[in-house]
A and B are shown apart, each in its own frame.
Chain A
Amino acid sequence: MTENSTENTEWPLWEVFYQPKDGKPFEHAGSVHAADAEMALQNARDTYARRSEGIAFWVVPSDQIVASTPEDVGPFFDPANDKPYRHPQFYSVPRAVKKRK
C-alpha cells in the first residue's frame, strides 16, 4: 500500500442512456468511467452497444443527476388510493368504447 492508495485516481463516472429505436424514450443502460464527454460516449458504445442495443446515446456526468432520496418515498410516491376523486372510475364509459375492448 502506498501513501496515495486512498486517493481517487479513477476517471469520473458517467450515466449512460440509450435509445432503443427512433421515437422511443431513452433508457438507462448503466454507467462508465471516462475522463471527458467524447470518451464517455466511446466507452458507452464499447460497453453497451456492441449488439445493436440502440441507435443513440446520452451520457451525463453522474454527479449532475439530481435524484430523490429514499426519504422522499412518502410525499413523492404515496399512492392516491385515499383520494378517489383522482380516479376515473366514476365516469360512465360510452357503449361504443366498451364494445371495442
Chain B
Amino acid sequence: MSTFDTIPKTQQEALVETLLRLADDRLILGHRISEWAGHGPELEEDLALANIALDMIGHASALYTYAAELEGKADEDYYAYFRDDIDFKNIALCELPRGDFAFTIARIFLFSTFSYFLYQKLIDIVEDEQFNGMLQKHFKEIKYHLRHSREWVLRLGDGTEESHQKIQEAFDEIWMYSGEMFDLDEADQVAIQNNLFVDTSDFREEWEKLVVDTLEEATLNVPDMEQYMFSGSRQGRHTEHLGRLLAEMQFLRRSYPDADWK
C-alpha cells in the first residue's frame, strides 16, 4: 500500500501498515547511525554505535519480512530498496543528516525513550503472535539503546564546557522533530482499533518525565515543549534529506536488481 492510498480497511492491511511504519523508522535511523562506522570518537564507541545500527536494521528487517509475507511480496528487500521517498513512512527525526556525536546521542536518546514506552505498551495488547514475538525480542535491545544513550547524555551534559554546549545545541535543534513521534493519523486510528498500535498520548507524560529528568540531571535546559513541531512525514512529506539517503542506499540494488553475493 503506498502512502497516498486510502487508509487500511482490513485487519491485515492495518497490520502491514503498522509493520512498515515501525520498520521504516528503524531502517532509516539505523542507516544514519551506520554512517558512524569507522568514525566513532573511540574504538569502543565505534563498536557501540555499529551495534546499535545493526540492531535497528535487524528490527526493520524482521518487520519487513513479516510484511512481505502478509502482502505476498518477494522479500524484505522490496520495501528497503524499491520504494521511493514518498512511500517511506518514517518520521523526519530518523532521516536528518548524521550530525556530530552529540546530535547522534540526542537523537538515539529521544527515539529510544519513545520506542521503550511504545514497545512496552504494545507487548501488552498485540494479539498477533508473530508480531508480539518480535516486539518482545526487540524490546531487550531497545532497553540497551536507551541505557547507552542516556548515560552519554548525562556525561556530555555534565561534562566539559564544550560537551555541554554541543549536547544542548543538539537537543535544541532536534526538538522540533520530536513531536512527530506522537502524531496519530487515520491509519494509526485503524491500527489502534485493531489492537495493533497504542494511543501514544497514553504514555506521553511518562516519556516527558524520563526525558526531562535526564536533561535536568545532565544540567541541560529542557527545550520549549510547546514550540512549533515538524509534521507530515508519515504521510510522505519528507525533508530533502531522505531522497539523498535513499539514493545512496538503493542505487546498487536498483542498478543491478539481480545482483547477489557469490
A interface list, Cβ under 8 A from B = 10-11, 32-36, 38-39, 42-43, 45-47, 50
Q: Report if A39-B51 is in contact (Cβ < 8 Å); known contacts: A32-B44, A47-B44.
A: no
Contacts A33-B42, A35-B155 supplied; 5 other A-B pairs, CB < 8 Å: A42-B48, A46-B48, A46-B51, A47-B47, A50-B51
Whole-angstrom distance between the alpha carbons of A32 and B42 in the complex?
10
Q: Report if A39-B151 is in contact (Cβ < 8 Å); known contacts: A11-B42, A33-B42.
A: yes
Which B residues are CB-close (under 8 A) to A45?
144
Which B residues are CB-close (under 8 A) to A38?
151
Whole-angstrom distance between the alpha carbons of A42 and B149 in the complex?
11
Residue total for B at the interface (Cβ-Cβ under 8 A): 12
Which A residues are CB-close (under 8 A) to B47?
43, 46-47
- Within 8 Å of chain A (Cβ to Cβ): is B83? no
Taking the closest CB of chain A, its distance from the CB of B16, in whole angstroms, is 31
Which B residues are CB-close (under 8 A) to A47?
44, 47
Whole-angstrom distance between the alpha carbons of A5 and B250 in the complex?
41
Question: Would you list 9 pairs from A and B whose C-beta atoms are within 8 A, ordered by A residue?
Answer: A11-B42, A32-B44, A33-B42, A35-B155, A38-B151, A42-B48, A43-B45, A43-B47, A43-B48
Q: State the 8 A-B residue pairs at the shortest beta-carbon distance, nearest first.
A: A43-B44, A46-B48, A46-B47, A46-B51, A32-B44, A38-B151, A42-B148, A33-B44
Chain B residue at minimal CB-CB distance from A9: B42
Whole-angstrom distance between the alpha carbons of A46 and B36 in the complex?
15
A-B residue pair count with CB separations less than 8 angstroms: 29
Taking the closest CB of chain A, its distance from the CB of B79, in whole angstroms, is 26
- Within 8 Å of chain A (Cβ to Cβ): is B43? yes
Whole-angstrom distance between the alpha carbons of A48 and B148 in the complex?
16
Whole-angstrom distance between the alpha carbons of A44 and B47 in the complex?
10
Which B residues are CB-close (under 8 A) to A39?
151, 155
Which A residues are CB-close (under 8 A) to B151?
38-39, 42
Chain A residue at minimal CB-CB distance from B50: A46
- Within 8 Å of chain A (Cβ to Cβ): is B241? no
Which of A36, A46, A50 interacts with B44 by CB under 8 Å?
Answer: A46
Whole-angstrom distance between the alpha carbons of A42 and B150 in the complex?
12
- Within 8 Å of chain A (Cβ to Cβ): is B147? yes
Whole-angstrom distance between the alpha carbons of A46 and B147 in the complex?
13
Taking the closest CB of chain A, its distance from the CB of B154, in whole angstroms, is 9
Whole-angstrom distance between the alpha carbons of A10 and B51 in the complex?
22
Which B residues are CB-close (under 8 A) to A35?
155
Which A residues are CB-close (under 8 A) to B42?
10-11, 33
